[in-house]
Chain A
């Protein structure tokens, strides 16, 4: 699956000019990330043909847009489905009729219909009117409807942005699972770091430079998190992802499970444990990592890892971000600039990272 584009969009109060090349192995979620108003939605709308951009857009072997040749495939023939922020179910149809609207116009089979309804757990809602549904239910039905259109590419425009945290938490796993079960390439727009962390295979950073929206950078989640200069890591959300594998069965004493890195290990509550040798990704916030020069044995902190400093970046806020290499993986720590100077930290130095909290990511 390959999408490539080189487009310009000129509107009265908005300009977008960008080129982009994206590939999906088979299925996967690429997230377009950036602050509100940076043109993410316009990019999506140009891709599906709701905005008439100038330039070239091709998907796999098909040219959707080539404005020089005056060639433009209209939205309804691009075989792209879109999930909108506010679900956009048709109010004059009930839930079932909304689903059938997509089903009747697509190549989806009856089996697809049944499995989509089952997958999104909406069979009890089929006879409901749209106005009777909660925000989360509406969005689940909207996702189901877009699946039934059997698209080659699914676009999602901040589908969780207008939901409360409970509905968000309820729907996020569905988005992950439909991607793999339906073998769908998904392009997902978000300005939420949580969603990026949980969903993204690739991240497309968008920005407004001199009032023109453009794509600044594309990379994998891991690439981007390892880059101390990336916009993520400038924020208070700076974090690292450490990969390892579950080890130990039976559990260690005191309810701990062990994630083995190359040489060292990280210990977690055994509630998180999945399966022996199964690969696991851990998210560690930079602000949850402190640094000491010696292995503190008199500390309550359980996870203390040995590594070397690779980069130090002093920030304007009186803090500094320290990049360490631990068993070949990158770990970030944010400490005060004062402490960094007091400890006289230098690139190449051997230090101990004390990790206060670890979370499981997807």
Chain B
């Protein structure tokens, strides 16, 4: 149960951070043309295709004592961000980034820049127009992005194993706990956790597809 709580906590925080990060990124990608845009998009999409162990390996090095993560950790006297909740959070934000950016980018593309311009002729500044026109118009895209980001973080295994390990209460998420339960032949526990994860994931996907049906927005 501790693992379940930790997983939900991780997914929630990751999703919140991702929505904040992905909003400007997705707007930028949807409406600005610049050199190397394709490369940036390809780079951001890497987590979609890369084996989680590869991503986890690089993250482990980056978050470890000799990487930038270690430098950050030393600010509060730590040695490394690896094998900590913070490290896990950073990992899942990177891992789930494309799942949040892409629905938002598609949503923004669909809305276009016209509403911002119309709002500007009614004296609304960019940020005013963005929060009062674009965000409400992009609500379906935000619902897709948030559920997808949340669901994807729930199912994370490889990256977590590489950078988080299996510390109960700190880094042991449900997927890892299930793996351990199976290893130690605790099938009852594994059944319960798997069942819960199955139900949550299915419910979230159902939300996305209903949302898509209603608003006819492309997802990925």
Measuring CB to CB, which residues of chain A are less than 8 angstroms from any residue of chain B?
A: 48-50, 74-77, 79-82, 84, 88, 90-92, 101-102, 105-106, 145-146, 149, 155
Contacting residue for A106 out of B119, B120, B123, CB 8 A: B123
Q: Assess the A92–B121 pair: CB atoms within 8 A.
A: no
Q: Assess the A84–B123 pair: CB atoms within 8 A.
A: no
Smallest CB separation, B214 vs chain A (Å): 14
Which residue of B is nearest A79, CB measured? Answer: B123
Q: Assess the B118–A88 pair: CB atoms within 8 A.
A: yes
CB contacts (< 8 Å) of B31 on chain A: these are none
Most chain-A Cβ atoms within 10 A of its Cβ — which of B115, B118, B124, B133? B118
Which residue of B is nearest A88, CB measured? Answer: B118
Q: Assess the B132–A74 pair: CB atoms within 8 A.
A: no
Most chain-B Cβ atoms within 10 A of its Cβ — which of A48, A88, A92? A92
Q: Quick one: given A88-B114, A90-B115, are A75 and B136 in contact (CB under 8 Å)?
A: no
Measuring CB to CB, which residues of chain B are less than 8 angstroms from any residue of chain A?
A: 114-115, 117-125, 128, 132-133, 136-137, 139
Rounded to whole angstroms, the CA-CA distance of A81 and B114 in the bound complex is: 14
CB contacts (< 8 Å) of A77 on chain B: these are 123
Smallest CB separation, B141 vs chain A (Å): 13
Which residue of B is nearest A107, CB measured? Answer: B123
Most chain-A Cβ atoms within 10 A of its Cβ — which of B117, B121, B123, B132? B121
Rounded to whole angstroms, the CA-CA distance of A88 and B117 in the bound complex is: 10
Q: Assess the A92–B137 pair: CB atoms within 8 A.
A: yes
Chief secondary structure at chain B's binding surface? helix
Q: Quick one: given A90-B133, A92-B136, A101-B132, are A76 and B124 in contact (CB under 8 Å)?
A: yes
Which residue of B is nearest A98, CB measured? Answer: B122
CB contacts (< 8 Å) of B125 on chain A: these are 74, 76
CB contacts (< 8 Å) of B132 on chain A: these are 101
The number of residue pairs between A and B whose CB atoms lie closer than 8 Å in the complex comes to 58
Most chain-B Cβ atoms within 10 A of its Cβ — which of A50, A81, A146? A50
Known interface pairs A90-B118, A105-B124, A106-B122; 15 further A-B residue pairs with C-beta atoms within 8 A, sorted by A's residue number: A49-B120, A74-B120, A76-B121, A76-B122, A77-B123, A80-B121, A84-B118, A88-B115, A90-B119, A91-B137, A92-B139, A101-B122, A101-B132, A102-B123, A155-B121
Smallest CB separation, B145 vs chain A (Å): 18
23 contacts between A and B (CB under 8 A): A74-B120, A74-B125, A75-B117, A76-B120, A76-B121, A76-B123, A77-B123, A79-B123, A81-B122, A82-B118, A82-B121, A88-B114, A88-B115, A90-B115, A90-B119, A92-B133, A92-B136, A92-B137, A105-B122, A106-B123, A146-B121, A146-B122, A155-B121
Q: Assess the A149–B122 pair: CB atoms within 8 A.
A: yes
CB contacts (< 8 Å) of B121 on chain A: these are 48, 50, 75-76, 80-82, 146, 149, 155
Rounded to whole angstroms, the CA-CA distance of A88 and B121 in the bound complex is: 11
Q: Assess the B118–A75 pair: CB atoms within 8 A.
A: no
Smallest CB separation, B106 vs chain A (Å): 18
Smallest CB separation, B137 vs chain A (Å): 5
CB contacts (< 8 Å) of B115 on chain A: these are 88, 90
Smallest CB separation, B110 vs chain A (Å): 12
CB contacts (< 8 Å) of A80 on chain B: these are 121
Rounded to whole angstroms, the CA-CA distance of A146 and B26 in the bound complex is: 30
Rounded to whole angstroms, the CA-CA distance of A102 and B132 in the bound complex is: 12
Smallest CB separation, B209 vs chain A (Å): 22
Rounded to whole angstroms, the CA-CA distance of A80 and B137 in the bound complex is: 24
Q: Assess the A50–B123 pair: CB atoms within 8 A.
A: no
